[in-house]
């Protein structure tokens, strides 16, 4: 793999846009090579714009003798020569601390919320749902923006085998339009399981919204079988044609990224975009 810059970039403010989605290793290596090329070409500043940060879920040691790959990737990007990083909806916010350079963290929540408000859903029937207890903070934020009550799908193992008990904590979902939010849809197991619980508790419509639509493994088959009225993702990851189901809507985050890039270039606040 090689990279050659065909024009003079000495003293320029460089923004390299590269999601590290599958094939993660190939795209990550491309990013590192490009950063090194621009660094050696004497650019003024290099910002790695990473709409989807690969290996984000490997952010801690959850077993013996395993790596913290998210930290390793952060080290590689920094050592390659990046002066700052612009990322979107990291799986865990603490990943920002893995970098030794400034990290601007964007959220696709405004894009998702604006779309949901534009499709004329009955405001009085809306309820925001966290598909698991780990997503409560995210769901609370969406609920405040959409002026909707909150419910949580609580799934617990009740025996040593695969039997689980699922309950709804919070507001009732019966007869409601349920809006589930997550940072990503990977194999779609959690989202589809939560959708079944909501359906069994009487929700009349169920929507799933996530920033990153990975859709790996059995995700497509699960989403096709789930009682979902709509699935909303962004273009932080390119969606292959065979994964583009009839009820999937892909929203663009280009404007959000563009606004952030402009603010960084002008040395303006990025956090002000979300206030």
For residue 23, cis peptide bond before it (omega within 30 degrees of 0): yes
Helix (H, G, I), strand (E, B) or coil at 154: strand
Residues 26 and 122: their CA atoms lie apart, in Å, by 44
Active site residue 137: no
User: What sections of the chain are H helices per DSSP?
Assistant: 24-40, 69-80, 109-118, 136-146, 189-200, 219-225, 254-265
Angle at CA of residue 222, ends 219 and 224, nearest 5°: 110
For residue 6, count other CB atoms closer than 10 A to its CB: 5
The backbone torsions φ and ψ at residue 197, rounded to the nearest 5 degrees and listed phi first, read -65, -45
From 39, 71, 155, 243, the catalytic residue: 155
260 alpha-carbon distance from chain centroid = 17
Helix (H, G, I), strand (E, B) or coil at 169: strand
Task: Say if residues 115 and 252 touch (Cβ distance below 8 Å).
Answer: no
Active site residues: 155
């Amino acid at each position: 793999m090689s990279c050659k810059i065909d024009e003079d970039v000495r003293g320029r403010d460089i923004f390299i846009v590269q999601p590290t989605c599958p094939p993660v290793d190939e795209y990550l290596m491309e990013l590192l090579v490009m950063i090194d090329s621009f660094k050696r070409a004497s650019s003024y500043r290099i910002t790695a714009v990473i709409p989807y940060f690969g290996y984000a879920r490997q952010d801690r040691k959850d077993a013996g003798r395993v790596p913290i790959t998210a930290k390793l990737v952060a080290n590689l990007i920094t050592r390659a020569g990046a002066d700052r990083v612009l990322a979107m909806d990291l799986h865990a916010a603490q990943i920002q601390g893995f970098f030794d350079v400034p990290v601007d963290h964007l959220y696709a929540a405004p894009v998702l919320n604006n779309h949901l408000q534009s499709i004329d859903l009955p405001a009085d029937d809306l309820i925001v749902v966290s598909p698991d207890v780990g997503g409560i903070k995210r769901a609370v934020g969406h609920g405040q923006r959409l002026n909707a009550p909150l419910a949580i799908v609580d799934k617990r193992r009740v025996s040593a085998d695969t039997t689980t008990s699922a309950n709804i904590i919070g507001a009732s979902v019966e007869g409601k339009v349920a809006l589930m939010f997550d940072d990503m849809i990977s194999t779609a197991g959690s989202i589809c399981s939560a959708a079944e619980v909501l359906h069994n508790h009487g929700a009349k419509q169920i929507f799933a919204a996530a920033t990153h639509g990975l859709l790996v493994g059995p995700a497509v088959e699960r989403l096709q079988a789930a009682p979902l009225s709509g699935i909303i993702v962004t273009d932080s990851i390119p969606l292959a044609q065979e994964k583009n189901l009839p009820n999937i809507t892909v929203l663009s985050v280009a404007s959000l990224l563009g606004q952030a890039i402009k603010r960084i270039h002008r040395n303006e606040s990025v956090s002000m975009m979300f206030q």
